[in-house]
Amino acid sequence: MRYSGKIVLVTGARRGVGRLLAEHFLREGAQVIGFSRHADDLSVKGYTPIAVELGDAESVVRGFNQVRKTFGRVDIVVNNAAVLTSQYSMIMPPAAALGMLETNLFGTFMVSREAAKLMRKGKWGRIINIGSMAASLEPIGDSIYAATKAAVATLANVMAKEFAPLNITCNTLGITAIETDMLGQLPRDKVDAVVAGLPMPRYATADDILNVVDFFASERSSYVTAQTVFLGGVN
Query: Where does this chain bind ligand NAP (CB under 6 A)?
Result: 12, 14-18, 35-38, 52-55, 80-83, 103, 107, 130, 132-133, 175, 177-178, 180-183
104 vs 225, beta carbon nearer ligand NAP: 104
Torsion angle, alpha carbons of 180, 182, 187, 193, to 10: -70
In the complex, the smallest distance separating the C-beta of residue 167 from ligand NAP, rounded to whole angstroms, is: 26
Q: How far is the CB of 62 from ligand NAP (least distance, A)?
A: 13
Residue 175 to residue 51: CA distance in whole angstroms? 25
Smallest separation (angstroms) from ligand NAP to the CB of 111: 9
Which CB, 87 or 167, lies closer to ligand NAP? 87
CA distance 112 to 125: 11
Question: Which is it for strands 168-175 and 47-51: parallel, antiparallel or unpaired?
Answer: unpaired
Q: Residue 82 or 128: which CB sits closer to ligand NAP?
A: 82
171 torsion bin: left (phi>0), alpha (psi -120 to 50), beta (else): beta
CA distance 23 to 45: 11
Tell the smallest beta-carbon distance from residue 82 to ligand NAP (Å): 3
Residue least distant from ligand NAP (Cβ): 16
- Please identify, using beta-carbon distances, which residue of 31 and 176 lies nearer to ligand NAP: 176
Measured over all CA atoms, what is the biggest interatomic distance in the chain, rounded to whole angstroms?
50
Beta-strand pair 7-11/228-230: unpaired
203 among known catalytic residues: no
Query: E strands within 39-142?
Result: 47-51, 76-79, 125-132
How many C-alpha atoms does 211 have within 13 Å on its Cβ side? 11
CB of 150 to ligand NAP, least distance (A): 12
Catalytic residue among 88, 145, 203, 223: 145
Helix orientation angle between 143-163 and 107-122, rounded to the nearest 10 degrees = 20
Q: Which of 200, 111, 199, 194 is nearest to 155 (CA)?
A: 111
Q: Which is nearer to ligand NAP, 195 or 224 (CB)?
A: 195
Residues noted as catalytic? 145
